[in-house]
Structure 1
Amino acid sequence: MQDVQNRADGRGIDIQKVGIKEAHLPFLIKTREGGYQQVLARVRFTVSLPSEYKGTHMSRFLEILMPWSKKPLAEPEMEAMLGEALTKLEASSAEVELSFKYFVDKVAPVSGRTSVLDLDCSFRGHKDKDKPMEFQLGVEVPFTSLCPCSKEISAYGAHNQRSVARIQLRFKPGYDCIYIEDLAEMVEKQGSSPIYPLLKREDEKFVTEAAYENPKFVEDILRDTVLTLRGLEGLQWFSLECENYESIHNHSAYAQHEEELP
């Protein structure tokens, strides 16, 4: 049968990224404890295409993904997957991104009841031929924030809201990326109080009072998180967004910062 994709193309345009998007597959994500967690991932998988070729071989992306979806996955496996794509698709660069829900254990502060909190996460790997992979971790961490101004001017009470920090991290070559669990624990401490899916009355009292004693603007949360991220050994670059879903306004309070570390 004729291979139409391999036919020559005369328009002289290199395509930087071509492949598949919105593929949904189960994957096994390595955990801090040494095991793995099964997730449902949304996948974007692309390679570069030289100008002389008409098209890439779309079926090969799924052929590559399927075996890897059955193995516990972290950075080494992502790099091997991309190396396979470079070879099988005869490309000079390849990129894969997995977006998924990841669950972390949460223990209520007083009752000790255990539940799980879902986090929106992403793994992104980019590899050029004969070069190490660049790996980027993305995590969205929810928490509670309480307004310092509201506390200061009110005779009693203060308005609070659910908030989220959206982080993207990239580490220097030779340094391992932080685990999702460790990053989530680190970031949620920068808000007024962590969020717990399961709280009994004694827990609710505790987190309400804890937030009241630790009021923070969105700017405070962002700056405290920036200082915390700067302390991560081997961190090369990060992007951070903080958003407070305001309880007394029909809009959010928002702050953003991006930094390349020496």
Structure 2
Amino acid sequence: MNKPSEPAVPQIADVQGSPDTRRLDIDRVGIKGIRHPVRILARSGTEQHTVANFNMYVHLPHNFKGTHMSRFIEILNGHEQEISLGTFRQMLREMCERLEARAGHIEMSFPFFVNKAAPVTGVTSLMDYQVSYIGEIAHGQAERLTAKLVIPVTSLCPCSKKISDYGAHNQRTHVTLTAHLGTPVWIEELIELVEAQASSELYGLLKRPDEKYVTEHAYDNPKFVEDLVRDIAGALNADERLAGYVVEAENFESIHNHSAYALIEKPVRAG
């Protein structure tokens, strides 16, 4: 008996791959705002399970009508293993290869948690930090890998301390560090570098002896917003793994209805 023949697979037109005659390159095209579960590799060797928000783009030459959007999702689904800065770089390269693009851009934003011990009692609690990895490939080979972190700290005003008979005003400060990496750096290292320059770092949980220590430590270490960005920049300049950086500090003033702000940038040198 003859076996029935299998049905023929219909040929489906590839509209995205069809030619375009307008002769206009598109600098970035892709998917934006897609959430995906990831496992972030921490310095201790453990993994943090979290959900990241992804933006993924490639360059589209003028002669193609569109890019293949489904391939971006396929790439994400293929990276279920833990993600470090090294594997993030691999994902960026794979995206450009799969989509045959000479330039690509990936942004990945996620909350990162550090288990911190209080300074006196040692009681532990989690602190969360907003982290982004940003990867770019240009001209098919030049790569740039960037880590962007928002690190909350305490700052205490030197002027207030100097002129007041009682205490000094302090506030929470958000330090935004955008570090252009020559070689991979652990997230925890960048957090610790910034926190070491503040009037005081923050903790999720403090007992009374800890609160006394933190308050007095900040009082003994007053800093203007200008002092803070200069001290952080000095520490960053000493780290040869960084190709460049932008450090920003915003003080959410406790006695004013505005913020104080400062920024220092060290551009990445060409070549």
- Which residue of structure 1 lines up, in the alignment, with residue 9 of structure 2? none
Identity %: 46
Q: Does 1:211 align with 2:218?
A: yes
- Which residue of structure 2 lines up, in the alignment, with residue 131 of structure 1? 141
Q: Displacement, 1:202?
A: 1.0
Q: Displacement, 1:179?
A: 0.8
Distance 1:16 1:164, change over 3 A: same
Return the match for 2:117 from 95, 107, 110. 107
- The code of the aligned residue for 1:147 comes to C
**Once the two structures are superposed, what CA deviation does each residue of 1:147-188 show, in whole Å capped at 9, x if it has no partner?**
01111111111100001110011123xxx2221111111101
Q: Does 1:166 align with 2:173?
A: no
* 8 Å CA contact retained: 1:140, 1:165: yes
Return the match for 2:48 from 19, 37, 47. 37
* 8 Å CA contact retained: 1:79, 1:127: no
| Runs of 4+ displaced beyond 3 Å | none
Whole-angstrom CA distance in 2 between matches of 1:133 and 1:177: 13
Query: Structure 2 unaligned runs (5+)?
Result: 1-11
- Which residue of structure 2 lines up, in the alignment, with residue 5 of structure 1? 16
- Which residue of structure 2 lines up, in the alignment, with residue 231 of structure 1? 238
Return the match for 1:61 from 69, 72, 75. 72
* 8 Å CA contact retained: 2:179, 2:246: yes
Query: Structure 1 unaligned runs (5+)?
Result: none
- The code of the aligned residue for 1:254 comes to Y
- Which residue of structure 2 lines up, in the alignment, with residue 221 of structure 1? 228
- The code of the aligned residue for 1:259 comes to K
Report the secondary structure of 1:170's partner residue. Answer: strand
* 8 Å CA contact retained: 2:55, 2:107: yes
Whole-angstrom CA distance in 2 between matches of 1:261 and 1:131: 17
Report the secondary structure of 2:222's partner residue. Answer: coil
- Which residue of structure 1 lines up, in the alignment, with residue 96 of structure 2? 86
Q: Which has the larger radius of gyration?
A: 2
* 8 Å CA contact retained: 1:127, 1:134: yes
Report the secondary structure of 1:28's partner residue. Answer: strand
Return the match for 1:48 from 41, 48, 59. 59
The count of aligned residue pairs is 258
- The code of the aligned residue for 2:161 comes to K
| Cα root mean square deviation, aligned | 1.3
Whole-angstrom CA distance in 1 between matches of 2:253 and 2:108: 30
Of the structure 1 ranges 193-202 and 76-85, higher mean CA displacement relative to structure 2 is found in 76-85
Q: Does 1:73 align with 2:80?
A: no
Residues 139-154 of structure 1: matches in 2 within 5 Å? 139-154=149-164
Whole-angstrom CA distance in 2 between matches of 1:226 and 1:79: 26
Whole-angstrom CA distance in 2 between matches of 1:212 and 1:78: 41
**Once the two structures are superposed, what CA deviation does each residue of 1:82-141 show, in whole Å capped at 9, x if it has no partner?**
222222212111111100100011110111100010000001111246525321111111
